[in-house]
Structure 1
């Protein structure tokens, strides 16, 4: 079971936050000790958004970059789990937003930065503009004994991974041992969180089925603009906060709509996440500094 826990890691960050420890990767302490590391997850920055849900939208991403640059212990790498930019029907403006987004995040001290699309970036043109600026929409990489898999469940307007990508995932997993440490990163949840709000992946169950034989799997995603934790069998799924506006809890109101901006707490519900990988996975939610 998952359980909340305060960690000494907060002292290293120098920031207020809540540490959440997931009991993953059993019987791997000896292997993990030599390979402990941490990375930062950004999600749902929606560069280009303008509206009452975030009057400071033009500067929130810059503040988040400054927050991460100020960490006492810099991460090994940074990943953006989708919706880098806010949707637009104008193909030229879409590219302008992506260009400006890249300019802002180039100020990150850590230069190993990995991107994934959200539906706001890719669903209108099947990822054409996204690929011009950020490359492949799904890929893998390895870091200190952990295998990372980035999945694309947004380029298809029907919110599918698709048979081709599922076959690619199956082929990749066949190269893994069943006790290998695997981190899956995606934008939409792979499970049916709130289908009526588009909080699902049409064929996500097929991906979960492929992952089930592997005993050490964790999934990080965005899309729902809030911290959320869920289990499918032994696989933990962790949603991240947005950097633009918060959304209501799944099914808590008739329609999905941004939570109202609170001038007294302008950064409420917004932030990034620091993920420490040892024999366990420790999540520290990092608020965005106001200055």
Structure 2
């Protein structure tokens, strides 16, 4: 993907939002076989669409998801796959309404040009019924897959209403990662942060430290998550954690005010604070170049 790499370099020089995660040369240092040659690729992360939400602070909530789909479809180069990291729909106590929202969300995102789309639940999708409705529409809440030499593992830290991953899933995660060749690149997808970002705001996973302990045994790990409705970057040891913006409304910086009240809507800039990201993976050097993008205007 030489052309795309050059494009990102130009964006960086021109002031575009490009964030490089990882350490050059880490793959070799970690013991990746010298003969292994991974192919670069890129994917798109969207998060926290909250389909079914209405009212302040996004009076245009019925259109934001459709605009996001149009924005992704308008990319000059389409990604190899797309991942939604949770809160696909907005919570409701009514199980019939919950399923109606999931069906509508599914129908809207079916307009994406890229047909390799992976989903994960957020607590709005899964905590009230432990993921039962979500599974009917989107399948398992945790899973793993491989793409061009990178092992992706999706962790469910939302179906348990207590914000836990749980012993069974942690054991599955440990066993799955134990099968990976030493030093192979790993990307973790999850909804809540695995570390304690702001526990009083529910920005944490109660047994997330156990997951991080498992991940620290592997030298090349990067985590992409959602939930906090803003871009945020944090290191835990050698593991980089990157949160994504929301597609419904932005939330305040962690701990910056007493509560996590959504930031006010600006009619002059209706899409301010909303967006999605492109992630270019360079597995040979364990780098992930992140470019933040906004949704198109009406």
What TM-score does the superposition give when structure 2 sets the normalisation length? Answer: 0.91
Is the deviation greater in 23-32 or in 150-159? 23-32
Select which of 240, 245, 248 maps to 2:244. Answer: 240
CA pair 31-250 structure 1, distance change in 2 beyond 3 A = farther
Counterpart of 2:231 in structure 1 is: 227
| 1:65-90 per-position Cα deviation (integer Å, ceiling 9, x unaligned) | 01111111110000000000000000
1:273 pairs with 2:268: no
Task: Give the secondary-structure state (helix, strand or coil) at the position aligned to 1:68.
Answer: helix
CA pair 106-10 structure 1, distance change in 2 beyond 3 A = farther
Counterpart of 1:94 in structure 2 is: 98
Partner Cα distance (1:17, 1:244) in 2: 23
Select which of 195, 203, 206 maps to 1:202. Answer: 206
Task: Give the secondary-structure state (helix, strand or coil) at the position aligned to 1:93.
Answer: helix
Counterpart of 1:49 in structure 2 is: 53
Q: Deviation at 1:22? A: 1.2
Partner Cα distance (1:25, 1:211) in 2: 20
Partner Cα distance (2:36, 2:109) in 1: 30
* Structure 1: gaps of 5 or more residues: 1-5
Select which of 115, 134, 150 maps to 2:138. Answer: 134
Checking the alignment, whether the CA contact within 8 Å between 2:130 and 2:160 is kept in structure 1 is yes
| 1:186-243 per-position Cα deviation (integer Å, ceiling 9, x unaligned) | 0000000000000000000000000101111000000000000000000000000000
Counterpart of 2:31 in structure 1 is: none
1:170 pairs with 2:169: no
CA pair 69-157 structure 1, distance change in 2 beyond 3 A = same
Partner Cα distance (1:17, 1:109) in 2: 25
Checking the alignment, whether the CA contact within 8 Å between 2:143 and 2:153 is kept in structure 1 is yes
Task: Give the secondary-structure state (helix, strand or coil) at the position aligned to 2:252.
Answer: coil
- Number of aligned pairs? 284
Q: CA RMSD, aligned part only?
A: 1.9
Is the deviation greater in 139-148 or in 27-36? 27-36
Task: Give the secondary-structure state (helix, strand or coil) at the position aligned to 1:270.
Answer: coil
Q: Deviation at 1:176? A: 1.4
Partner Cα distance (2:35, 2:8) in 1: 21
CA pair 17-89 structure 1, distance change in 2 beyond 3 A = farther
Task: Give the secondary-structure state (helix, strand or coil) at the position aligned to 1:38.
Answer: strand
What TM-score does the superposition give when structure 1 sets the normalisation length? Answer: 0.94
Checking the alignment, whether the CA contact within 8 Å between 1:225 and 1:245 is kept in structure 2 is yes
Task: Give the secondary-structure state (helix, strand or coil) at the position aligned to 1:8.
Answer: helix
Partner Cα distance (1:25, 1:38) in 2: 18
Is the deviation greater in 246-255 or in 26-35? 26-35
Select which of 38, 43, 51 maps to 1:39. Answer: 43
| 1:165-198 per-position Cα deviation (integer Å, ceiling 9, x unaligned) | 0000111111013311000000000000000000
Checking the alignment, whether the CA contact within 8 Å between 1:24 and 1:216 is kept in structure 2 is no
Counterpart of 2:80 in structure 1 is: 76
Partner Cα distance (1:286, 1:271) in 2: 6
Partner Cα distance (2:16, 2:127) in 1: 34
Partner Cα distance (1:24, 1:170) in 2: 24
Checking the alignment, whether the CA contact within 8 Å between 1:186 and 1:220 is kept in structure 2 is yes
Partner Cα distance (1:100, 1:134) in 2: 13
Partner Cα distance (1:27, 1:68) in 2: 31
Task: Give the secondary-structure state (helix, strand or coil) at the position aligned to 1:115.
Answer: strand
Q: Deviation at 1:33? A: 6.2
Partner Cα distance (1:239, 1:44) in 2: 11
Select which of 243, 264, 289 maps to 1:282. Answer: 289
